[in-house]
Amino acid sequence: ENERTLAIVKPDGISGNYTSSIRKVILESGFSIQREVTVQLNEDSVRSFYAEHSTKSFFPNLVKYMTSGPVLIMVLQKVSAIADWRALIGPTDARKAKITHPDSIRAMCGQDLERNCVHGSDSRESASREISFFFTDTFSEGTTLKH
């Protein structure tokens, strides 16, 4: 079944110049990129986007990291987009990914558990929330970015 998922190339992915390699992997894996926009997120946007992690000890660092530079936000579409994008990016901890999933995107461009260079929605519910967090109406002309 066709699905959409939200992908983010995080600040370390952008500053490390991994954007074109990541886009190549995305297209070669059969995803279509329905929307893509580069933005500088502010602290309030990051706090709200990652609200489910607000009580975690790593939250302040996550906010610093995600506001440290521009991010590339993409809406990806294909059959089983959510699970397939998660499989392609690999485990959250990029350091582990380099060992257990050496062909994954996080193995390619991530550094550790926090600085893992990309994000992917983890469920249908998250994908729907995350896509509408950034895009008012993702699939009509004149889309406006909310954050």
Q: Residues with catalytic annotation?
A: 119
Element (H, E) at 8: strand 2-9
Q: Is 67 in the site for ligand CMP (CB under 6 A)?
A: no
Looking only at residues 8 through 27 of this chain, which bind ligand CMP when binding is defined by CB under 6 A? none
Q: What is the C-alpha separation between 113 and 133, in angstroms, rounded? A: 24
State yes or no: residue 58 binds ligand CMP (CB under 6 A). yes
Closest by Cα among 77, 72, 12 to 37: 72
Scan for tokens 């990914």, then name that residue. 97
Among the listed residues 27, 87, 113, 145, the single contact to ligand CMP using CB under 6 A: 113
Minimum CB separation from ligand CMP for residue 62, in Å? 5
Does 5 contact ligand CMP by CB under 6 A? no
Give the DSSP per-residue string, 80-128.
THHHHHHHHH--S-HHHHHHH-TTSHHHHH--SSS--SEEE--SHHHHH
Among 4, 116, 131, 134, binds ligand CMP (CB under 6 A): 116
Beta strands in 16-70 (DSSP E): 32-39
Q: Is residue 62 a contact residue for ligand CMP (CB under 6 A)? A: yes
Using an 8 Å Cβ cutoff, are 3 and 78 in contact? yes
- Nearest approach in angstroms of CB 133 to ligand CMP is 13
Indicate whether 36 belongs to the interface with ligand CMP (CB under 6 A): no
Query: Closer CB to ligand CMP, residue 24 or residue 53?
Result: 53
Kindly state whether residue 111 participates in binding ligand CMP, applying the rule CB under 6 A.
no
Using CB under 6 A as the criterion, which residues of the chain lie in contact with ligand CMP when the complex forms?
Answer: 50, 53, 58, 62, 92, 113-114, 116, 119
